[in-house]
């Protein structure tokens, strides 16, 4: 029998064995939330106290620099999104998260996550393993930004976001790549 929680349970089971007790405690703490296109999932002016598992939709994590939005990364189906420094440190940071499409999520509050960590040691393993893949992605992004040409950055972007790049507006893609929209248009024309 299929459950609305199957995607998030499958995600966890990729990293750890989910006991029936952990599964129950996890499901008791998840809440369903829907955000409309353009709605803020997190505002940089607030401390991030929730993490969102995306069922459907697309989000962008960004910051403002001199009044300009700089896209940092994008998250879509079967991924968690939050403002990590704010979420973990319980402090404000520079990142806001908005929805580029109508987005349906399961939400997990920081205090509930703390409870799960305190009572289920396998959740620590989950955090370590899942954050390892996020860390690897961010290191690749740093290398791509610092040591590659605009064309190589764009090719890397197409690889990293292969399933969703066509859903991301061009201006946000250019911002993510650190190039102008005209350079991006030229690169796309070469493909």
2-50 per-position pLDDT tens digit: 488 999 999 999 999 999 999 999 999 999 999 999 999 999 999 999 9
Residues 6+ apart with CB under 8 A from 72: 61, 62, 63, 95, 176
What percentage of residues in the chain have a pLDDT greater than 90? 79
113-148 per-position pLDDT tens digit: 999 999 999 999 998 888 777 677 777 777 777 778
83-114 per-position pLDDT tens digit: 989 998 999 999 999 999 999 999 999 999 99
Q: Which candidate, 41, 164, 61, places its Cα nearest to that of 107?
A: 41
């Amino acid at each position: 029998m299929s459950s609305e929680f199957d995607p998030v349970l499958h995600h966890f089971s990729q990293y750890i064995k989910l006991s029936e007790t952990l599964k129950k405690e996890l499901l008791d703490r998840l809440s369903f939330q829907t955000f409309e296109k353009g709605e803020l999932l997190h505002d940089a002016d607030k401390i991030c106290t929730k993490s969102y598992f995306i069922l459907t939709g697309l989000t962008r994590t960004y910051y403002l620099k001199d009044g300009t939005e700089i896209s940092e990364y994008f998250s879509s189906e079967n991924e968690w999104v939050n403002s990590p420094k704010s979420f973990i440190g319980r402090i404000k940071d520079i990142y806001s998260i908005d929805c580029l499409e109508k987005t349906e999520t399961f939400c997990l509050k920081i205090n509930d996550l703390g409870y799960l960590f305190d009572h289920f040691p396998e959740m620590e393993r989950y955090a370590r393993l899942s954050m390892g893949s996020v860390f690897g992605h961010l290191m690749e992004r740093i290398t791509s930004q610092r040591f590659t040409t605009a064309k190589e950055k764009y090719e890397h972007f197409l690889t990293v976001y292969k399933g969703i790049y066509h859903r991301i507006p061009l201006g946000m893609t250019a911002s993510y790549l650190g190039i102008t929209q005209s350079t991006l248009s030229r690169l796309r024309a070469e493909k």
